[in-house]
């Protein structure tokens, strides 16, 4: 089993300054971690998952724009290991703009 962890730099109320660029560390854990990773696809949504935009993972991080004040951002990832096992993770309203 594999999973993806997002470590957004948010405050204790899960908020970040609105409409600012945010670098979010992305870590793969489990059987797909390290040299066994075949693929990792990440997407973000600013409309509660109605539409998704792919985001490139670069040096273990994604760059996204923080949502507007009191709006949320959702994150999704699909990870596949070299044996073909796939896991999907979706975090709705991962954080809110402040």
Residue 97 pairs with which residues in a beta bridge?
A: 16, 69
Q: Looking up tokens 């935009």, which residue turns up?
A: 53
pLDDT at 72: 96
Six-digit token pair at 32? 């797909």
pTM of the predicted structure, to 2 decimals: 0.91
In this structure, the dihedral spanned by the alpha carbons of residues 71, 6, 40 and 55, taken in order and rounded to 10 degrees, is 30
The CATH T-level fold of domain 2-97 is Immunoglobulin-like (2.60.40)
> What are the residue boundaries of the structural domains of the chain, listed by start?
2-97
pLDDT in tens, 7-27: 999 999 999 999 999 999 999
């Amino acid at each position: 089993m594999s999973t993806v962890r997002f470590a957004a730099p948010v405050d204790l109320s899960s908020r970040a300054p609105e409409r600012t660029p945010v670098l979010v560390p992305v870590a793969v854990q489990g059987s797909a971690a390290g040299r066994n990773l075949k693929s990792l696809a990440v997407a973000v949504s600013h409309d509660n998952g109605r539409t998704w935009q792919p985001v490139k993972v670069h040096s273990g991080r994604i760059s996204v724009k923080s949502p507007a004040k009191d709006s949320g951002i959702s994150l999704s990832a699909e990870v596949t290991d070299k044996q073909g096992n796939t896991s999907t993770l979706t975090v709705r309203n991962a954080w809110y703009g402040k």
